[in-house]
A and B are shown apart, each in its own frame.
Chain A
Amino acid sequence: MTFTHLLSAGDLDRTDAIRILDTAEELLGLASRPIKKLPTLRGRTVVNLFFEDSTRTRISFEAAAKRLSADVINFSAKGSSVSKGESLKDTALTLQAMGADAVVIRHQHSGAPHRLANAKWTNGAVINAGDGTHEHPTQALLDAFTMRRHLGELEGKNITIVGDVLHSRVARSNALLLDTLGANVTLVAPPTLLPVGIEKWPVETSYDLDSSLEKADAVMMLRVQQERMNAAFFPSAREYSRRYGLDTPRLNRLPDHAIVMHPGPMNRGMEITADVADHVRSVIVEQVTNGVAVRMAVLYLLLGGAAGDSTTEEGTE
């Protein structure tokens, strides 16, 4: 592995990305075994440091670490000293003192994982589990993994990502990773929900969902993140879902092999209708299953071998 942290999907070159996906492919088989456990990370400590609410990412990382036999410490900002005003630095130093080998961090501010990794507050590997509106690399990896299982290698495939790109860390990580893997990404959103500087992303953009459906191999719907919206980005929820929501007529216009994805949590009736969310071509539940395998692959590749700074790693022989 050429990296010691996983902060951005853009840090992965093609070899690394493929290696993670291939490893995840092997680890997926574990879920169907009677004993879903590997001894590989025995004695390693993984801290889930969640400053922001999360269901699937946190339990997914927890399941992944536990299936690799790591010790898991869950930390959420609620009910911790963070609510007393403790800084990220002091929290990190505490975790370091407890000997965390990896820190999985979810933070409401973009760049927090980066700060944690580069400030040397912790020796452990830092894995970004979503920072503000910036990045969510493991989500992008599990999305790419899911696409690859359905569509084959992603080189030349057309992926359409629709919705609230402005507030979406998933969209950014996916755009970077899918570009690395050779896919063509189209972002579809109302002009108000495309971020400044989008022209520098390796993607095409469009304001019209209908025109990009026919050629799409996969459509990824993004959640409209109302909790991050401090202004009126579109006139009404109804108008948004009429222009940018995925409903059955639109689903029928997709190619027969195309899949429908959503990183969750969904606003049913907003960006995706309930019929489409539960349709056979929707792989939304499978994305969650694949998330565990992908996160196991990331944890294994970051922690499974000799670490770059092997100060605490030599205790086994």
Chain B
Amino acid sequence: MVASDDAPRADNSHAPARTVLDDKDISRALTRITHEILERNRDASDVVLLGIPTRGVHLARRIAKRMSEVEGRIITAGALDITMYRDDLRLKPARALEHTEIPDDIDGKIVVLVDDVLFSGRTIRAALDALNELGRPKAVQLAVLIDRGHRELPIRADFVGKNLPTSLVEKVKVALTESDERDAVDIQGGAA
């Protein structure tokens, strides 16, 4: 996620973490997002789900699984690595690339980008650039689990799990069982 890298950050490592979403909340939010995506796009025949590594991919897969259940056919999610399109590449040593996997031709499709936290909007800006070179989707929509505000670019999400007003000194941590030990969204630092 580009967002949290840009935040001015105090040393919050000792501050207690507050859990704002637990596993059930996350599950409910994803189910609701799934239905919203299906409702907005009638049937999901044109929809291509692309997660942004790492946790966006896990979320996209979970949404795809729910979609498959509702629609009664197999829907797969892809992954879109945006590392090479970031605007802050030159501020840090070169990073390792994540896996890009596009399940389908995206020309004329409705691409739903999936990420865990929407913050500055710079990740999504990079993702739109990356998409642009892969094809010409009919529309691009954005689904995020958490919208924490503080946008630096004119970008908004179409599907939001939870709006979470935060201060810039706070840190939002999304944990998912695929890569972490549990499902939870925590806030660290700031006024608890």
Contacts and interface: CB of A to CB of B under 8 A. Distances in A.
B94 interface: yes
A1 B97 contact: no
Interface in A81-132: none
A306 B91 CA distance: 5
Nearest to A19: B96
Contacts of A316: 87, 90
A79 interface: no
A33 B133 contact: yes
Contact of A300 (B88, B94, B100): B94
Chain A, interface residues (CB within 8 Å), range: 20 to 34
A156 interface: no
A39 B85 contact: yes
B71 interface: no
Nearest to B85: A39
Contact of B100 (A23, A29, A68): A29
A275 interface: no
- Binding site secondary structure of chain B: loop
B88 to A, nearest CB: 8
- Binding site secondary structure of chain A: loop
Contacts of B99: 26
Interface in B83-111: 84-85, 87-100
Contacts of B134: 33-35
Interface string A1-38: 10000000000000000010011001101000111011
Given A26-B99, A39-B84, A316-B87, A306 B92 contact: yes
A306 B89 CA distance: 7
B96 to A, nearest CB: 6
Nearest to A68: B84
B98 A314 contact: no
Interface string B126-156: 0001000111000000000000000000000
A317 interface: yes
B81 interface: yes
Interface of A: 1, 19, 22-23, 26-27, 29, 33-35, 37-40, 68, 300-306, 313-314, 316-317
A95 B97 CA distance: 30
Contacts of B97: 22-23, 26-27
Given A26-B81, A33-B133, A35-B133, A40 B89 contact: yes
B103 to A, nearest CB: 13
A222 B92 CA distance: 40
12 contacts: A23-B96, A26-B81, A26-B99, A27-B97, A34-B135, A38-B133, A40-B89, A300-B94, A305-B90, A313-B90, A314-B90, A316-B87
A304 B96 CA distance: 11
B90 A306 contact: yes
A35 B88 CA distance: 23
A37 B133 contact: yes
Nearest to B134: A33
Contacts of A306: 90-93
A305 B135 contact: no
Contacts of B81: 26
A102 to B, nearest CB: 13
A1 B93 contact: yes
B100 A304 contact: no
B133 A304 contact: no
Contacts of A39: 84-85, 129
B94 A305 contact: yes
Contacts of B133: 33-35, 37-38
Given A26-B81, A33-B133, A1 B94 contact: yes
Contacts of A300: 84, 94
B100 A26 contact: yes
Contacts of B93: 1, 305-306
A253 B96 CA distance: 40
A258 B65 CA distance: 40
Contacts of B89: 40, 304-305
